[in-house]
Amino acid sequence: MLKELSSKAVKLREELIEFMDEYVYPNEKTFEEQLNEQESRWEIPPILEELKAKAKAHGLWNLFLPDEEYGAGLTNYEYAHLCEIMGRSLIAPEIFNCNAPDTGNMEVLVKYGSEEQKKQWLDPLLEGKIRSVFSMTEPDVASSDATNIESTIVRDGDEYIINAKKWWSTGAVDPRCEIAIVMGKTDPDAETYRQQSMILVPFDTPGVEVKRHLNVFGYDHAPQGHAEIHYHNVRVPASNILLGEGRGFEIAQGRLGPGRIHHCMRAIGKAERALELLIHRANHREAFKSRLIDKDGVREAIAESRLEIEQARLLTLEAANKIDQEGAKAARKEIAMIKIAAPRMALKVIDRAIELFGGAGVSDDTPLAEFWADSRTLRIVDGPDKVHLRDIAKLEIREQLKDN
Amino acid sequence: MLKELSSKAVKLREELIEFMDEYVYPNEKTFEEQLNEQESRWEIPPILEELKAKAKAHGLWNLFLPDEEYGAGLTNYEYAHLCEIMGRSLIAPEIFNCNAPDTGNMEVLVKYGSEEQKKQWLDPLLEGKIRSVFSMTEPDVASSDATNIESTIVRDGDEYIINAKKWWSTGAVDPRCEIAIVMGKTDPDAETYRQQSMILVPFDTPGVEVKRHLNVFGYDHAPQGHAEIHYHNVRVPASNILLGEGRGFEIAQGRLGPGRIHHCMRAIGKAERALELLIHRANHREAFKSRLIDKDGVREAIAESRLEIEQARLLTLEAANKIDQEGAKAARKEIAMIKIAAPRMALKVIDRAIELFGGAGVSDDTPLAEFWADSRTLRIVDGPDKVHLRDIAKLEIREQLKDN
Amino acid sequence: MLKELSSKAVKLREELIEFMDEYVYPNEKTFEEQLNEQESRWEIPPILEELKAKAKAHGLWNLFLPDEEYGAGLTNYEYAHLCEIMGRSLIAPEIFNCNAPDTGNMEVLVKYGSEEQKKQWLDPLLEGKIRSVFSMTEPDVASSDATNIESTIVRDGDEYIINAKKWWSTGAVDPRCEIAIVMGKTDPDAETYRQQSMILVPFDTPGVEVKRHLNVFGYDHAPQGHAEIHYHNVRVPASNILLGEGRGFEIAQGRLGPGRIHHCMRAIGKAERALELLIHRANHREAFKSRLIDKDGVREAIAESRLEIEQARLLTLEAANKIDQEGAKAARKEIAMIKIAAPRMALKVIDRAIELFGGAGVSDDTPLAEFWADSRTLRIVDGPDKVHLRDIAKLEIREQLKDN
Amino acid sequence: MLKELSSKAVKLREELIEFMDEYVYPNEKTFEEQLNEQESRWEIPPILEELKAKAKAHGLWNLFLPDEEYGAGLTNYEYAHLCEIMGRSLIAPEIFNCNAPDTGNMEVLVKYGSEEQKKQWLDPLLEGKIRSVFSMTEPDVASSDATNIESTIVRDGDEYIINAKKWWSTGAVDPRCEIAIVMGKTDPDAETYRQQSMILVPFDTPGVEVKRHLNVFGYDHAPQGHAEIHYHNVRVPASNILLGEGRGFEIAQGRLGPGRIHHCMRAIGKAERALELLIHRANHREAFKSRLIDKDGVREAIAESRLEIEQARLLTLEAANKIDQEGAKAARKEIAMIKIAAPRMALKVIDRAIELFGGAGVSDDTPLAEFWADSRTLRIVDGPDKVHLRDIAKLEIREQLKDN
């Protein structure tokens, strides 16, 4: 590979692959069965907590956290290689306590939380005991344009009063969810990127209403789930504000870079698994007098997939490395690029696998249909492609017209 | 339009559009709510039967049936225009008793059923009282290659014994389902396309086991549903055979042409509705200081969608017209072409709408995600694209190398 | 086909096909050889005039002209079918005196020319004795936006003085070229679409300077050629104005509709010939132990090409028919659509043929590379795709937001 | 960037960019004018030799040659960065004596030439005094399948007799061309990849006939040119054989890896320049009341281009690095992948630029049309995409089915 991986990361990667083979893939069906057999899909299937305990025992825990005190202390470039492996199974990220939005929320708490807040929220999150929510997106406006945000966080004495209508708050339906980070405007008259703030809202605060659960293409993503949450005059101590008033956009940006690396590497993991499934299916299936794997057309599908995966992975690793070397701001263009490239690629590769699997591909008999739905959704999470294309173009034009 | 539509069809089309506006679209949410509120999603929501009664009263009933005695007596070209309208809502086809697989099954019964069979199965189907299943696809083999079929229909005195493992039998979970048409081999040693037969199997015959329900991208398609059905030593009277032993492939082919027109026109209807939704959303949504509809990129998405829809519709109408004029066999190439072109187009158009709707597009707040899932599945139903491309190429090469 | 073709057109089509087989294809190489062997490529190869005489003798002459007095009196729908056949050979259109821009210029003269002008310019054009130029596009501005046009036509007593810098004036290098129709502004202060006028400029008028010849992807298109023409204070009689001052945009629009049908049908003809060449090549070429035609991948290329050609042709015929039935204005959306769809499709089909031919495909050994270059250029002629997408979207949005 | 570039390469890159700005780009038109003004396009325009002398004086000479004795001693990874810069101008590679096929031929001579041969052919090639040809591809067979090669090299005493019909022998029309490397079969009965040999054929040997010149999309590529060459009973000393009988395929393979890196990096250079041209054009051009650069659609084109370029470059650098680290054989999959990815990407980016330039884009007013034609041809050079997809799939399947 272009840049060598540290021996620490190589070793973790091998252990991770082994763990996936031994414990994760074989339990995907178990997880689904337990979910269906228990009274409600919104309870936690026991297998999940068992596997979490195992992963923790193996030292495969909080790998995402670059902070050495709290986590594995890996660079983005290193963790990217591990994150890809986790992305191969829909149940894996949580097993290793590397699940969004908890990962981003933990990072925010590590960086900006008070000791008290860390004790109350970060510690149980690091232990995988509670879950958290990140309430940013709003249903009524194009919130990929941060200036559109309508939620308010108003100071009132020693408290802030939060009024917000949010959706796609992932994890909100999870019975273990205890804390939310909410984005809203503290000062609508400040300059564009100083209007927003982020604040910690304990989930049991009066006024927090999980309005409804949201499906993603028919999938409920239980037991985690995505929800619409209404915050009605929710009051929290003023000290719950993160970093300070007007710093919300800044936190969001800082959270964004590594988060996208994670999302994109997981998408690449899905694509790799889809290709693997495709090849094994083609190897065993026959039609019109020959095995599918011996047909030119199928071979072209395999080769095109490899071509696309390699390029998307290299770009994502480039972005990860640039964050490590020059910081997230310098890597803005790369971060915007992978947000488009990785899920687009994954959708193409997964779709080819679905096509080859036929009916099995669109059903729950393979993870492919849900992989597809997730990857499609990823193209929307924190802004549709057009928003990122816009950013890339702006940066590109700025560079080129300055240089020449 | 290239070929004028008869005044009869024009009038039906206008009535249908009016009915959709007045009764169907406004009740889509009602249908979903009733489904969720009743004890099981596998019961029939009352609104469905109410709307069926209304449609029947309006004379918008069995429009698909070209036979004038039993149905509307429309040509494929005429009905295609109506079918597109019905395709715009997921609940519409059944409301007008024009739902697959019942439509194809009714056609088969009209053509090949005995008087007794017509009385027992066709009449209640025509009245919309019972539902039926078409058991063709098998999980263990590439059944788009008909020679691979493993199910057997073996004569034993006055009966046939059926052993079959089928899946994607649509409608099997519906509590009203009473009859199945099953495809199997009566003579594995006959020439390739004379090995298969079709037979009527009452759903309450011992040995018929609805093994499990199948989701499509997380959707259960309740209350109809798709199922895996195992037929274990199922015995039916010998007279239940359709058309005669060895005629199964022939029936399948005859059933196929009009069926694909229906599927494709419904896909076109979905694309039209998606485009309509996209335009209305873009008209009301704002980002980065202007309405979405005023952005070049969004306008290009609209124009490209129109371009693709028009071409796919013209091709489908051409195929329908060719079936009318020269028969399904002469139209084989066109029928294979639309099977590829229409769902591919629909997927592109719907995807653009999903992108513009963002989170709302992948959730249940719009019909888009389910439209997408259905259209993707349509690309697999009766054979993946590669099978149809193969057929088109074969016919094309045959023509060109003969001519020159 | 969706709409039946008149027996008159069917007969002409058969005669045309026969003529192409007998005289045109076999002389493509002769034409090229004569062009290369004569002193300059800008002289007329004798074979061209011989074939023109033959075509005229066969009654295959001026088929494009809907006017029965001067031409064949065919509808756009009818002529479209003939135009496709002519498009199959780069030398064919002129042989049948159906070559752009002469066709459009003749139509303009038929409609708006005085008797004197008809005698002087239309008659020799109809006889194929002289050639003409249409000077519209300007190098310094985006002239697909007609308001940008900078050329001026200023009244001065009994004369107009023309100052214009035009390029892509096709036919200007042809030694037989005698007349130009020039577009310019007579009144820059009039309302947007009344500023422009068209005027007849005999090519030997002082001040007409053919500045330079323009290649298209390396092709010179001799002996016709495209040129940059500068008109320096060119004076012509005031009666040379066409239809009247401020009517230039209107004439351009009227000329446009049928012109695009022609361009698109010729592109479809090129695609058909490319597919034919591809199939024959694949039938005779072997690699990796089997004939190319027996490989899945090649068959998929054939099938995809057929799919794309059929759809583009149906759309173009739809547009032609709509012009016939409702006029060019009503057919604006369709005309904009085919301008995008037909050359795009042709490029894809031709490119597949090039790929299969390898080195022969990019060289002059097949017509494919030049077909490709011409089709690529067609995407630019009278405006890039983005301009047409813009128009389609505008019309689509207008319809949808009114209806709903 | 993912892997740091050595300071030596960084410095050479800067000097190269400076040289390009100062001497190469400003002389592109001069080159074309001299070519057109001199008696024949097949003479060498003086500017070319002037610039070569300048480049040599600047030490920007033979940079491609990894051998430190004869060349710059750069790794493939290092040279790739320089090669990209050269690819930005069609006249640049020869100016730096880094032009195909001379580069590959020089490498072969360095590795396998005798001292005598080096003195006679390598030295003047390294000095840029003579030019050479690589005769591999044959017109009558699919020579991307090496087993199809029909040329023969037959031992006769102290000589070999060569009979071969070759085409796409680049440089053959160049008046300075003095030597050819010819591939043919010495033993058609040997095992598949031991049948072929390579031999040195001085261009003035009796029997060498440059049959005809080949255009590429209308371009003649003068003064270098591509040709069909017939070798009729050409006799050369037995010592002219390279490496030994039966080693032809092996040499071809060894030559291939770095050659593809060069081709692909040059294609990337073309794409970069096309994007640069696009942005500058968009910055100065106006239509429909705003500058093109302010339109969403144009910005999306810019962003998509950047996305595609980055990915293709990373993949090519990965392949280059893998050759350096593990050898060409280990990098086979990567080498096959870039052969597909880089020109495909370049075609898309260049096409967008052409579209934006309109008429100027397809003419000789920009280098875009010729860039496009070259990149399209690159997709065919040493095998069409399908051949490389086949190889990638084979390697991919082998790895996956072994691993699992």
Answer yes or no: do D281 and D343 share one domain.
yes
Answer yes or no: do C372 and C287 share one domain.
yes
Q: What is the DSSP string of B55-78?
A: HHHTT-SSTT---TTTS----HHH
The answer to whether position C124 is within a domain reads no
Question: B145 vs A288: CB contact, 8 Å cut-off?
Answer: yes
Chain D: which residues have CB within 8 Å of chain A? 1-3, 275-276, 279-280, 283, 293, 296, 299-300, 302-304, 306-307, 310-312, 314-315, 317-318, 321, 333-334, 337, 340-341, 386, 388-394, 396-397, 400-401, 404
Question: D295 vs B300: CB contact, 8 Å cut-off?
Answer: no
Token couple for B172: 């099997």
Q: Which residues of D touch B296 (CB under 8 A)?
A: 295-298
Chain A: which residues have CB within 8 Å of chain B? 137, 139, 141-142, 144-145, 148, 167-168, 214-220, 285-288, 292, 297, 354-356, 358-364, 369-370, 372-373, 376-377, 379-380, 384-387, 390
Q: What local confidence, expressed as pLDDT, does residue B142 receive?
A: 84
Q: Which residues of A touch B392 (CB under 8 A)?
A: none
The answer to whether position A123 is within a domain reads no
Answer yes or no: do B90 and B153 share one domain.
no
Instruction: Specify the number of domains making up chain D.
Output: 3
Q: What local confidence, expressed as pLDDT, does residue D373 receive?
A: 98
Touching subunits for chain C (3+ Cβ pairs under 8 A): A, B, D
Q: Which residues of C touch A298 (CB under 8 A)?
A: 296
Q: Give the model's confidence band at B403: pLDDT under 50 very low, under 70 low, under 90 confident, else very high.
A: low
The answer to whether position A120 is within a domain reads no
CATH of the domain at A102: 1.10.540.10
Answer yes or no: do B223 and B262 share one domain.
no
Question: A216 vs B217: CB contact, 8 Å cut-off?
Answer: no
Q: What local confidence, expressed as pLDDT, does residue A403 receive?
A: 55
More confident residue, B347 or A257: B347
Q: Which residues of B touch C314 (CB under 8 A)?
A: 2, 311, 314-315, 318
Answer yes or no: do C236 and C260 share one domain.
no
Q: Closest approach of chain B CAs to the CA of D240, in angstroms? A: 47
The answer to whether position B388 is within a domain reads yes
Question: D384 vs C214: CB contact, 8 Å cut-off?
Answer: no
- Residues B142-151: pLDDT tens digits? 877 778 899 9
Q: Which residues of C touch A296 (CB under 8 A)?
A: 295-298
Answer yes or no: do B279 and B312 share one domain.
yes
CATH of the domain at A320: 1.20.140.10
- Residues B197-215: pLDDT tens digits? 999 999 999 999 999 999 9
> Is the N-terminal amide bond of D258 cis, ω within 30° of 0?
no
- Residues A307-329: pLDDT tens digits? 999 999 999 999 999 999 999 99
- Residues B163-177: pLDDT tens digits? 999 999 999 999 999
Three-class secondary structure of residue C230 per DSSP: strand
Q: Which residues of C touch B307 (CB under 8 A)?
A: 337, 340-341, 392
Q: Could you tell me the pTM of the whole model?
A: 0.97
Answer yes or no: do D253 and D390 share one domain.
yes
**Residues C13-36, mean pLDDT to the nearest whole number:** 97
> Using H for helix, E for strand and C for coil, what is the string for chain A?
CCCCCCHHHHHHHHHHHHHHHHHHHHHHHHHHHHHHHCCCCCCCCHHHHHHHHHHHHCCCCCCCCCCCCCCCCCCHHHHHHHHHHHHCCCCHHHHCCCCCCHHHHHHHHHHHCCHHHHHHHHHHHHCCCCEEEEECCCCCCCCCCHHHCCCEEEEECCEEEEEEEEEEEECCCCCCEEEEEEEEECCCCCCHHHCEEEEEEECCCCCEEEEEEECECCECCCCCCEEEEEEEEEEEEHHHECCCCCCHHHHHHHHHHHHHHHHHHHHHHHHHHHHHHHHHHHHHCEECCEEHHHCHHHHHHHHHHHHHHHHHHHHHHHHHHHHHHHCCCCCHHHHHHHHHHHHHHHHHHHHHHHHHHCHHHHCCCCCHHHHHHHHHHHCCCCCCHHHHHHHHHHHHHHHHHHHC
- Residue of B217, B226, B285, B286 to mutate when probing chain A, most A C-beta within 10 A: B217
The answer to whether position B126 is within a domain reads no
Touching subunits for chain D (3+ Cβ pairs under 8 A): A, B, C
Q: Which ipTM value was assigned to this complex?
A: 0.96
Q: What local confidence, expressed as pLDDT, does residue A28 receive?
A: 97
Q: What mean pLDDT value characterizes chain D?
A: 95
- Residues D151-199: pLDDT tens digits? 999 999 999 999 999 999 999 999 999 999 999 999 999 999 999 999 9
Chain B: which residues have CB within 8 Å of chain A? 137, 139, 141-142, 144-145, 148, 167-168, 214-220, 285-288, 292, 297, 354-356, 358-364, 369-370, 372-373, 376-377, 379-380, 384-387, 390
Chain D: which residues have CB within 8 Å of chain C? 137, 139, 141-142, 144-145, 148, 167-168, 214-220, 285-288, 292, 297, 354-356, 358-364, 369-370, 372-373, 376-377, 379-380, 384-387, 390
Residue B350 pLDDT more than 60?
yes
Touching subunits for chain A (3+ Cβ pairs under 8 A): B, C, D
Answer yes or no: do C270 and C387 share one domain.
yes
Q: Closest approach of chain B CAs to the CA of D356, in angstroms? A: 15
**Residues A375-392, mean pLDDT to the nearest whole number:** 94
Residue D146 pLDDT more than 80?
no
Token couple for A179: 């804390």
Question: B389 vs C317: CB contact, 8 Å cut-off?
Answer: no
In chain D, whose CA is at the least distance from the CA of C138?
D359
- Residues D321-376: pLDDT tens digits? 999 999 999 999 999 999 999 999 999 999 999 999 999 999 999 999 999 999 99
The answer to whether position B40 is within a domain reads yes
Q: What local confidence, expressed as pLDDT, does residue C1 receive?
A: 78
More confident residue, D67 or A230: A230
Q: What local confidence, expressed as pLDDT, does residue B289 receive?
A: 86
Taking the C-alpha atoms of residue D77 and residue D333, their distance in angstroms, rounded to an integer, is 17
Q: Which residues of D touch C376 (CB under 8 A)?
A: 354, 362
- Residue of C362, C374, C381 to mutate when probing chain D, most D C-beta within 10 A: C362
- Residues D271-313: pLDDT tens digits? 999 999 999 999 999 888 899 999 999 999 999 999 999 999 9
The answer to whether position C103 is within a domain reads yes
**Exposure string over A266-299, b if 16+ CB within 10 A, otherwise e:** bbbbbbbbbbebbbebbeebebeeeebbebbbbb
Answer yes or no: do C53 and C136 share one domain.
no
Answer yes or no: do A384 and A331 share one domain.
yes
- Residue of B386, B388, B389, B391 to mutate when probing chain A, most A C-beta within 10 A: B386
Question: Which of B50, B79, B113 is the last residue before a domain boundary?
Answer: B113
**Residues C45-52, mean pLDDT to the nearest whole number:** 98
Question: Which of D241, D269, D295 is the last residue before a domain boundary?
Answer: D241
The answer to whether position A166 is within a domain reads yes
D181: alpha, beta or left? (left if phi > 0; alpha if psi -120 to 50): beta
Question: D145 vs C288: CB contact, 8 Å cut-off?
Answer: yes
Q: What local confidence, expressed as pLDDT, does residue C145 receive?
A: 78
- Residues B53-92: pLDDT tens digits? 999 999 999 999 998 999 999 999 999 999 999 999 999 9
Among the partner-chain residues D137, D218, D355, the one whose CB lies closest to the CB of C218 is D218
Q: Which residues of A touch B285 (CB under 8 A)?
A: 142
Q: Which residues of C touch A297 (CB under 8 A)?
A: 296-297, 300
Question: C2 vs B318: CB contact, 8 Å cut-off?
Answer: yes
Chain D: which residues have CB within 8 Å of chain B? 295-298, 300
The whole domain housing A221 covers 131-241
**Residues B240-259, mean pLDDT to the nearest whole number:** 92
Among the partner-chain residues D292, D362, D385, the one whose CB lies closest to the CB of C377 is D362
Q: Which residues of A touch C297 (CB under 8 A)?
A: 296-297, 300
Question: Which of B241, B274, B307 is the last residue before a domain boundary?
Answer: B241
Q: Which residues of B touch C394 (CB under 8 A)?
A: 299
Q: What local confidence, expressed as pLDDT, does residue A52 receive?
A: 98
Residue B314 pLDDT more than 60?
yes
Residue D404 pLDDT more than 60?
no
Q: Closest approach of chain B CAs to the CA of A31, in angstroms? A: 16
Answer yes or no: do B323 and B177 share one domain.
no
Strands (E) across C138-176 are located at 152-156, 159-170
Taking the C-alpha atoms of residue D73 and residue A127, their distance in angstroms, rounded to an integer, is 54
Please name the amino acid found at residue A141. Answer: V
Q: Which residues of C touch B339 (CB under 8 A)?
A: none
Question: C321 vs B2: CB contact, 8 Å cut-off?
Answer: yes
Q: Closest approach of chain A CAs to the CA of C188, in angstroms? A: 34
Q: Give the model's confidence band at C403: pLDDT under 50 very low, under 70 low, under 90 confident, else very high.
A: low
Q: What local confidence, expressed as pLDDT, does residue A312 receive?
A: 98
Number of Cα atoms under 13 Å in the Cβ half of residue B254:
16
Answer yes or no: do D75 and D183 share one domain.
no
- Residues D220-265: pLDDT tens digits? 999 999 999 999 999 999 999 999 999 999 999 888 889 999 999 9
Q: What local confidence, expressed as pLDDT, does residue D403 receive?
A: 55
